[in-house]
Structure 1
Amino acid sequence: MPYLTANNFPTEPAGKRFRAALNRPGIYQLPGAHNGQAAIQAGNAGFDGLYLSGAAMTASMGLPDLGIITVDEVAFFIRQIARASGLPLLVDGDTGYGEALNVMHMVRTFEDAGAGAVHLEDQVLPKKCGHLNGKSLVSPTEMAAKVAAAAKAAREMVIVARTDAVGVDGFDAAVDRAKLYVESGAEAIFPEGLTSRDMFEKFKTALPDTPLLANMTEFGKTPFFTASEFEEMGYKMVIWPVSSLRVANKAQAELYASIREHGGTREMLDRMQTRQELYDTIGLDAYEALDASIVKTIVPVMPDS
């Protein structure tokens, strides 16, 4: 239900709702939503939490995922997704957009925009996708300082620390970093770039009391696992970060190719969301009813003297 017309739109802070979902039994499934429409569709499918990927944001803007976008640009995405769906949102905070004070500014801005959780990573700018080679890391203590700053700035927001150390310095270094980040204030850990079930299980064994996040991105280094399989490995969250954007982009490319070939869209009609389906998704009827229910304000006219 659209946020302007919903009587039951959430009033509790998103961070509090995200933490409650994280603490319940089972694995918290967080599909990526790259805009408000995708967020509504994910909610309609039954998901009660979402993920906002930096790679999806930048790609939707026609940019690579190199830490180019700004805090305010990300906040724009957060606001539209939070308002459209009302669901708790985990946001990709990249490297924190600077040092400790910048990280604190990011946390407050994202929380004010409606995010429930954020993750920070320990890469050096320009950062890269976690499933690419050639990454460089900041020192463990530098990242720990960022995590501590994020935890200090957060009011209800859940702070997740991501480490890319597995692909740079090895598994043991990643575990050591993760433990340090927990000591510094991270409530959960995102071990990026794991390449086998055994590695996922060993990471959980090394941090038995810490909630862990699994990244089920396509076309990366991680083999395909289902949410249930990650739960069996002991993980509390799983994200599918860019899946919605990949599907949408593929469909758009096919649409433009068809228009170019056929001179129109007739061949693609059965692949389209209909006008009624679009209006139903965004709640047009509810908005129109709300508009009609508001009494028009009449400005008094001064009488002639």
Structure 2
Amino acid sequence: MMVRNRKSSILRDALKSKGLVKVAGAHDGLSAKLAEKNGFNAIWASGLGISAVQTVPDASILTMTEFLEAAVIMNESCNLPVIADCDSGYGNIHNVTRMIKKYEVSGIAGVCIEDKVYPKLNSFDDRQQLLVSTEEFCEKIRAAKMAQQNDDFVLIARVEALIAKLGQQEAYTRAKAYVQAGADAILIHSKERSPDEIVEFVNNWDVDAPLVVVPTKYPTLSMEQLEELGVKVSIYANQALRASVKAINDTFESIINNKSSLQIEKEIVSVKEIFDIQEVPEMKQLERLVHKQPAT
């Protein structure tokens, strides 16, 4: 008997609803909470972001447990469903099975696995990108779907054929096979600065499964255009991470160069705003309510 999870249900309903699902890449609880505050529909627990926070390459260096712990923190920090970037599934079908069980029981709404070899390279790495066979990846998808207990838990299959320069036909063939194997959605990825190959793929897609894109390299393609094309989900996977690095760098550089933090005080948030994000006012309210109660 299948069980249900509220956040998985929210994500599943979003995939079935009209309009573009806007997903923010996050790397910690703070970035997840700010994404919710600014109107995103879901969180992408970014493998790049989580790796960057620990200053290691996005190349399967961290363990599944480390990625899961980071995703759980994001999940607990906001009310949005979390989609976890799970690389190539951390190994073979047995690793995928364990991964699904762990992520699902932890309250994560869905996961995304990609058809690259393990360990993987980040898609924007300029070294050769190696993919597993279509059948091997279909086996991972089937194993994942057999392992899940929550009927609404979402499995996104990420197709890296365009990243690996294998062409449109290979990308389409793989994507169609992944849907037949049980994938709930297809993430088609590209690192071309022009959106042309993504547009071509989307226009040729005639399978009844939602499409997910990551417009990092082709930001000229707006949300309105993606929706008109029929794309269901757009993931802004690393913009918050890149913005954070720049902001922190600029702040520290200013302090050192000016021998004071005075120059940047007007450009940064107040400590009160940090307290508000941390829900310090709610903490104080609870203390007031509790202190009114008679001692027991």
The residue type paired with residue 37 of structure 2 is N
> Given that residues 91 and 118 in structure 2 are in contact (C-alpha distance below 8 angstroms), is that contact kept between their aligned partners in structure 1?
no
Q: Would you say how many aligned residue pairs link Structure 1 and Structure 2?
A: 286
Distance 1:44 1:282 in 2: 13
Is the contact between residue 190 and residue 197 of structure 2 (CA under 8 Å) also seen in structure 1?
no
Q: Is the 8 A contact 2:215 2:236 kept in 1?
A: yes
SS at match of 1:32: strand
Contact 2:214 2:234 in 1 (8 A): yes
SS in 1 for 2:26: coil
Query: Which has the higher mean CA deviation after the structures are superposed, 238-247 or 189-198?
Result: 189-198
TM-score (norm: length of structure 1) = 0.88
Q: Partner of 1:21 in structure 2?
A: 14
TM-score by length of structure 2 reads: 0.90
Which of 14, 26, 33 does residue 26 from structure 2 map onto? 33
Q: Write out aligned runs for 1:125-204 (5 A).
A: 125-133=118-126, 134-154=128-148, 155=150, 156-168=152-164, 169-193=166-190, 195=192, 196-204=194-202
Give the RMSD, CA atoms, in angstroms. Answer: 2.0
Q: CA deviation at 1:288?
A: 2.3
1:142-175 C-alpha deviation (Å, 9 max, x unpaired): 1111111111122231000001112322211111
Unaligned runs of 5+ in 1: 1-10, 300-305
In the alignment, does 2:261 pair up with 1:265? yes
Alpha-carbon distance in 2 for matches of 1:12, 1:173: 35
Gaps of 5+ in 2: none
- The 5-angstrom pairing of residues 1-305 of structure 1 reads 12-133=5-126, 134-154=128-148, 155=150, 156-168=152-164, 169-193=166-190, 195=192, 196-204=194-202, 205-217=204-216, 220=217, 222=218, 224-294=220-290
Partner Cα separation in structure 2 for residue 48 and residue 279 of structure 1: 24
Amino acid at match of 1:237: V
Structure with the greater alpha carbon radius of gyration? 1
Separation in 1, partners of 2:200, 2:258: 54
Aligned to 1:98, what secondary structure does the other structure show? coil
